[in-house]
Amino acid sequence: MDIGLVGLGKMGGNMRERLRRGGHTVVGYDRNPDVSDAASLAEMVEQLPSPRAVWVMVPAGEPTRATVAELKDLLSEGDVIVDGGNSRWTDDLANAESLKDKGIGYVDCGVSGGVWGLENGYALMYGGDAADIEKVQPVFDTLKPEGDFGSVHAGKVGAGHFSKMVHNGIEYAIMQAYAEGWELLETAELTDNVTEVFRSWREGTVIRSWLLDLMVAALDEDPGLSKIAGYAEDSGEGRWTVEAGIEHAVATPAITAALYARFVSRQDDSPTMKAVSAMRNQFGGHAVRTAPPKGGDAAGGDGGPDQSTASQQAGAGGGHESAES
């Protein structure tokens, strides 16, 4: 099928490539002209046949809201917008409502897979009306991993991003447990080779996982994690998960503790947070903080200057620059 893709950063660019390998026609727009297929959002839309489908992969919050608003003026009844970034589910409700008067469909899609998704596929959690999802189902089928799992219609609009939010909250807690275990093994002085202990857990144990694989990869690259500062950002979704737990009176002590540990990491150089930061870098290419050069500032951080329009926001970096995965 034909689809427009707004935002060609680390994930958006790889998604365009995976879709093209699957036989789809993708017209991508990015504020970086070196990677963009169109000079503007309007030009991208003009190249799409009706009914048109546009996938948005720009940073969550105002960049996504502005992009959806700009697309509303460019699209027509029967078209559909997919937000594949890491928007808060409440934004999905507002976006879908704003598009109703023009008859434009809206699907929210939580995406996990990070920089590995091009080859392995992306886990997809999407919400919206069945008729709107049917219009973009071929794209979902191409992006997902091979096999029976990795893709789900989670429910109505907002359900996709809500599910991805909870996924990331769980991810916080799992990474925190691995990281604390690594620090304990390193500190106890009984274990001669902590990296090999972690490697041995990859087969036959109940705690084996892809995150464990990535932890081992990070330790192979830097056994003591000496090149990484004990500082870990939070993408926002961990906070939203804790807030949702409070709203629904569901206790989330492990996720909450993992979130608070990241806050503490910004005060002290924590060995545990070195491990969390290393895992985040492995699966998502997230920036890590390194020791500052003499007379300079430390490298890393997830931020960047704000842009004023949707067209400017649809730039390199995509919707997952500061998301977990």
Which residues does the annotation mark as catalytic? 164, 171
User: Which of 8, 5, 50, 42 shows the shortest CA–CA distance to 25?
Assistant: 5
81: three-class secondary structure by DSSP: strand
10: three-class secondary structure by DSSP: helix
Count the neighbouring beta carbons within 10 Å of the beta carbon of residue 249.
6
User: For residues 140-166, b (16+ Cβ closer than 10 Å) or e, as one string?
Assistant: bebbbbeeeebbbbbeebbbbbbbbbb
Classify residue 35 as exposed, middle or buried by CB count within 10 Å of its CB (0-12, 13-18, 19+).
Answer: middle
Q: What's the count of helices (H) and strands (E) in the chain, helices before strands?
A: 13, 7
Pairwise CA distance, residues 315 & 289, whole Å: 23
| 78 φ/ψ sector (left φ>0, alpha ψ -120 to 50, else beta) | left
Pairwise CA distance, residues 263 & 256, whole Å: 11
- Give Dmax (Cα) for the chain: 67
Pairwise CA distance, residues 168 & 160, whole Å: 12
